[in-house]
Structure 1
């Protein structure tokens, strides 16, 4: 990282759970580990995922990477405002949870095996669900609007 760190170091950062924005000490925020604005790839069990997109660089990087990930999720408000702190649970066709996490921004990219999944999301106490089918050579997308 260049001297000076990330601009707006506390940009809406929630110190309790580390979501939204980023700081020069947040190793998973834009530019700190992957460069090019891409947030740090996380892993839960056998599933890799990345979430973020609050800043412009991160947002552009995640949108550009969507085609390289089997599942792309987007979280916005009714007026197209970006949302973070969305609880995400992805369940496979057999009812097993494959991912249970909270998004750090409006975009989440998930590397799951081809198959049928149910995506359960929750923001501000409002739950939504979407069925998605991830093909063997394509990218499935789901958008959630509150």
Structure 2
């Protein structure tokens, strides 16, 4: 019995420490404009941690790319109010962002790898709202197979006069 405890105790301690580390990675933070938020969602542990925070926030953003909807991070996120004044900014958002906004009209400006998206919406602070922004992905666009024309003439060399 003592041997089992010696093996089990370190495992339990490791599990407990990793749980605290996970909580540190995904924690409620406060942005410059005073809005509490959480960002994360890379890996199953962070997704689970984000899920545990969901009910505390009224707005949920998900950032993805391509037809498959692969989650992306390092998003530059700005939310402007109806007077075009910034109410929330985040320089390096992870794939998921939870925050609380007051009711009102907003403009979201999100940038990923130099490509910008703008989205206007009306927000009701008493309801939970989800916004998904998806960027096109060059790989998806390049995977379309080119069509071959059957009656196309054969290609000619650059210098046709060199032929006999």
Whether the TM-score (by the shorter chain) exceeds 0.5 is yes
Cα-to-partner distance string for 1:66-101 (whole Å, 9 max, x where unaligned): 343121100011122110100000001111101111
Cα-to-partner distance string for 1:12-60 (whole Å, 9 max, x where unaligned): xxxxxxxxxxxxxxx9x7323xxxxx71111122211111100202113
Closer/same/farther in 2, CA of residues 62 and 132 from structure 1, 3 Å limit = farther
Q: Distance in 2 between matches of 1:41 and 1:80?
A: 26
Please give the root-mean-square deviation of Cα atoms over the aligned residues, in Å: 2.5
> Which residue among 116, 119, 140 is the counterpart of 1:130?
119
> Which residue among 44, 52, 67 is the counterpart of 1:56?
44
> Which residue among 19, 23, 29 is the counterpart of 1:31?
23
TM-score (norm 1): 0.71
**Cα offset for 1:103?**
4.0
Closer/same/farther in 2, CA of residues 131 and 67 from structure 1, 3 Å limit = farther
Residue equivalent to 2:14? 3
Give 5+ residue unaligned stretches, structure 2.
Answer: 1-12, 136-164
Query: Does 1:144 pair with 2:136?
Result: no
Query: Does 1:88 pair with 2:77?
Result: yes
**Cα offset for 1:104?**
4.1
Give 5+ residue unaligned stretches, structure 1.
Answer: 7-26, 33-37
> Which residue among 10, 27, 30 is the counterpart of 1:40?
27
**Cα offset for 1:64?**
4.8
Q: Distance in 2 between matches of 1:128 and 1:104?
A: 14
Cα-to-partner distance string for 1:104-138 (whole Å, 9 max, x where unaligned): 42100111111111111000010001112221310
Checking the alignment, whether the CA contact within 8 Å between 1:66 and 1:109 is kept in structure 2 is yes
Q: How many pairs align?
A: 121
Closer/same/farther in 2, CA of residues 103 and 139 from structure 1, 3 Å limit = farther
Q: Distance in 2 between matches of 1:67 and 1:30?
A: 19
Q: Distance in 1 between matches of 2:93 and 2:109?
A: 16
TM-score (norm 2): 0.64
